[in-house]
Chains A and B, each alone.
Chain A
Amino acid sequence: MVDSAHLSLHVPEPAVRPGGQPDFSNVKIAKAGSVPRPEVDVASEDIRDLAYSIIRVLNRDGEAVGPWAGSLSDEELLTGLRNMMKLRAFDARMLMAQRQGKTSFYMQHLGEEAVSCAFRKALNKGDMNFPTYRQAGLLIADDYPMVEMMNQIYSNESDPLHGRQLPIMYSSKEHGFFTISGNLATQYVQAVGWAMASAIKNDSRIAAAWIGDGSTAESDFHSALVFASTYKAPVILNIVNNQWAISTFQGIARGGSGTFAARGLGFGIPALRVDGNDYLAVHAVARWAAERARRNLGPTLIEHVTYRVGAHSTSDDPSAYRPKTESEAWPLGDPVLRLKKHLIVKGVWSEERHVQAEAEIMDEVIEAQRQAEAHGTLHAGGRPSVRDIFEGVYAEMPAHIRRQRQKAGY
Chain B
Amino acid sequence: MARMTMIEAVRSAMDVSMAKDDNVVVFGEDVGYFGGVFRCTQGLQAKYGRTRCFDTPISESGIVGTAIGMAAYGLKPCVEIQFADYMYPAYDQLTQEAARIRYRSNGDFTCPIVVRMPTGGGIFGGQTHSQSPEALFTHVCGLKVIVPSNPYDAKGLLIAAIEDPDPVMYLEPKRLYNGPFDGHHERPVTPWSKHDLGEVPDGHYTIPIGKAEVRREGSAVTVIAYGTMVHVALAAAEDAGIDAEVIDLRSLLPLDLDTIVKSVTKTGRCVVVHEATLTSGFGAEVVSLVQEHCFYHLEAPVVRVAGWDTPYPHAQEWDYFPGPGRVGRALAEVMEA
**A389/B310 in contact, CB under 8 A:** yes
**B310/A219 in contact, CB under 8 A:** no
Given A164-B311, A378-B315, A404-B309, is A248 in contact with B30 using a C-beta cutoff of 8 Å?
A: yes
User: Which residues on the A side are within 8 Å of B30 (C-beta)?
Assistant: 246-248
CA distance in complex: A165, B125 (Å): 9
Q: Does B50 contact A (CB under 8 A)?
A: yes
Q: Does B55 contact A (CB under 8 A)?
A: yes
User: Which residues on the A side are within 8 Å of B125 (C-beta)?
Assistant: 166
Given A182-B128, A247-B34, is A389 in contact with B58 using a C-beta cutoff of 8 Å?
A: no
Q: Does A65 contact B (CB under 8 A)?
A: no
**B309/A218 in contact, CB under 8 A:** no
CA distance in complex: A255, B56 (Å): 11
Given A164-B311, A183-B85, is A245 in contact with B37 using a C-beta cutoff of 8 Å?
A: no
User: Which residues on the A side are within 8 Å of B315 (C-beta)?
Assistant: 155, 159, 162-164, 378, 383-384
Which residue, A166, A215, A315, A384, has most C-beta atoms of chain B within 10 A?
A166
Given A11-B51, A247-B33, is A218 in contact with B316 using a C-beta cutoff of 8 Å?
A: no
**B58/A393 in contact, CB under 8 A:** no
Proximity string of chain B (7-44) to chain A, C-beta cutoff 8 Å, 1 when within and 0 when not: 00000000000000000000001101110010000000
| Chain A contact residues, majority secondary structure | loop
User: Which residues on the A side are within 8 Å of B85 (C-beta)?
Assistant: 182-183
**A164/B59 in contact, CB under 8 A:** no
**B57/A163 in contact, CB under 8 A:** no
Residue of B nearest to A213 (CB): B58
**B59/A252 in contact, CB under 8 A:** no
Q: Does B190 contact A (CB under 8 A)?
A: no
CA distance in complex: A269, B24 (Å): 41
Given A166-B125, A217-B58, A321-B34, is A408 in contact with B29 using a C-beta cutoff of 8 Å?
A: no
CA distance in complex: A378, B313 (Å): 12
Considering the complex, which residues of chain A in the window 186-222 have a beta carbon less than 8 Å from any beta carbon of chain B? 214-215, 217-220
Q: Does A5 contact B (CB under 8 A)?
A: no
Q: Does A363 contact B (CB under 8 A)?
A: no
Given A245-B58, A248-B34, A378-B124, 18 extra CB contacts under 8 A: A11-B50, A11-B54, A13-B50, A163-B316, A164-B313, A165-B126, A166-B125, A166-B129, A183-B86, A183-B89, A183-B128, A184-B58, A247-B30, A247-B34, A247-B55, A321-B33, A393-B311, A400-B279
